[in-house]
Amino acid sequence: MAEDSKPIEVHPGEHEPVDPNQRDENVSVLMPSPPDPQADKPTNHRQDEAKQSGKPLTLDFKWTTDLIAILALVISVFSVGFSYLTVVEMRETNRLTSENLVVSERPWLSAEMRVIQDLTFDGESGIGSLGVEVILHNSGKTPALNARVGQFFFAGYMDKTQTLLQQEISCGRFRSEWIDSRGDVIFPGDSHRIDEMSYLDKNQIEAALKHNLNVGYGSKITPSLITCIEYRSSLGVKHHQTRYFSIVGPRWRFGLTAPLDPVGIHKDTQLWRFIYGQYAD
């Protein structure tokens, strides 16, 4: 055995077996505490404040109330707008239905005309006269009330534009003279005859001669007749008109008339109706 070697000292009980059930008083063992189930839950500050203050916990509904108020306002606006559009649509539907009913059920007056007295110029007065038979026919479904006829006689030449303008003036004046107590009642499918006399005075004839000379018709006149038929529907107070424009004169070449001299009797006087003068409302 070497000199540096020292014998191992063994103390009694130092390396003896340890009883696991025996606790060493000198050793303190730190064991982790069991997890708290409430530790992981989020903190509710309002609950903490309520607990600290001792006041009961109340929910804050302010933002909810504001949101509900806004939604209610939006819904109210949309409801008002939808109601307005519905009313407008209903009114338009009722208007169209009423108009369609009036159009489908209203009276429609048309006229057939023929000369019953030839165009005649008096030698002494120089006045021209024309007799026309007007036969009104109601092709509608309801009676035509206060039906009456107005005719306007012209001696000078008129082109299409002048004709339509003069027709509007003459028939407009005839309508303005309307009196509800006048006129005849024409029932659906019935016809009614009205005889009209029209006249050209001396001043009209002289003015027409000058006018026609300037437009290339020489010292002759070109008589024309505007016919206005005024009546009222039994479905309402609205008045209606039917209008015609005709050239007056004897038959000439190709079924046409020629300018004529304002003297004597013009036999076989005809009414030559023009398409652009026909109108009905």
87-102 pLDDT tens trace: 777 776 666 566 555 6
Separation between Cα atoms, residue 32 and residue 220, nearest integer Å: 135
Domain boundaries, the chain: 62-105, 109-280
39-93 pLDDT tens trace: 555 555 555 555 555 555 455 556 677 777 788 778 877 777 767 777 777 776 6
- Two structure tokens written together for 261: 């001299």
Selected from 1.10.645.10, 2.60.40.10, 3.40.50.720, 3.40.50.1110, the CATH number assigned to the domain covering 109-280 reads: 2.60.40.10
The Cα angle at residue 281 between residues 233 and 184, in degrees rounded to 5:
40
DSSP string, 75-94: HHHHHHHHHHHHHHHHHHHH
Contacts of 209 (CB under 8 A, 6+ apart): 219, 220, 221, 262
- Integer angstrom CA distances of residue 195 from 84, 118, 146, 166, 233: 55, 14, 16, 23, 23
209-236 pLDDT tens trace: 998 888 887 888 989 999 999 999 888 7
More confident residue, 244 or 23: 244
Mean pLDDT of the chain: 79
Are 121 and 128 a contacting pair, CB within 8 Å? yes
pLDDT at position 207, please?
92
- Integer angstrom CA distances of residue 272 from 13, 60, 123, 193, 207: 155, 92, 26, 20, 23
pLDDT at position 259, please?
85
Average pLDDT over residues 132-156: 94
pLDDT at position 250, please?
83
